[in-house]
């Protein structure tokens, strides 16, 4: 049975979803769909380690996650999500570079679509993928949250990406 738990983080409320197999989703508040929370105490226990690791990440004490993950997607999507896990903390890559790393140099749009369907953002770090010109591009939690995650990973320094919405360069 899938369980849900909402937690407060520096980037707003996150809803965790999962079951005994592992974490199946992290959703930003702007993406919440109504769910009926059953047995919230049991859900909180199920997500105890996820919550502890997220707290350490946001405190700057953790650079990666060691959690059982159970994302649901196509084989190609799961291949892209696995490649996202290989992007080092504090680094970014373009969609085209990620496609090349997968051995599919002409698949940057498909990689972008799979990236956008990542059901476990932050933990599967889709925020580390940027446009070929260094711009911040789509993110389910919104570009402001993407920027905050990249700044967190840069040690609090502004993210080194071009923000096309404001047409300014962060350095």
Positions marked catalytic: 126
State the Cα angle at 107 between 73 and 113, rounded to 5°.
40
Q: Rounded to whole angstroms, how far apart are CA atoms 23 and 19? A: 7
Answer yes or no: are the C-beta atoms of 25 and 4 closer than 8 Å.
Answer: no
Tell me the DSSP string of 84-146: HHTSPTT--EEHHHHHHHTT-TT-HHHHHHHHHT-SSTTTS-GGGEE-TTSB----TT-HHHH
Q: Residues 6 or more apart from 127 whose CB is under 8 A from it? A: 121, 139, 141, 145, 146, 149, 150
């Amino acid at each position: 049975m899938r369980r849900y738990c909402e937690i407060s983080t520096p980037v707003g409320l996150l809803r965790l979803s999962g079951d005994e197999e592992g974490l199946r989703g992290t959703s930003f508040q702007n993406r919440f769909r109504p769910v009926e929370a059953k047995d919230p105490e049991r859900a909180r226990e199920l997500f105890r380690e996820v919550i502890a690791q997220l707290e350490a990440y946001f405190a700057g004490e953790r650079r990666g996650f060691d959690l059982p993950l159970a994302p649901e997607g196509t084989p190609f999507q799961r291949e892209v999500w696995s490649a996202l896990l290989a992007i080092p903390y504090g680094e970014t890559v373009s969609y085209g570079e990620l496609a090349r790393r997968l051995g599919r140099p002409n698949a940057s749009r498909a990689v972008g679509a799979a990236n956008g369907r990542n059901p476990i953002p932050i933990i599967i770090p889709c925020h580390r993928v940027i446009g070929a010109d260094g711009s911040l591009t789509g993110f389910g939690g919104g570009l402001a949250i993407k920027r905050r995650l990249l700044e967190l990973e840069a040690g609090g320094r502004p993210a080194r990406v071009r923000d096309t919405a404001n047409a300014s360069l962060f350095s």
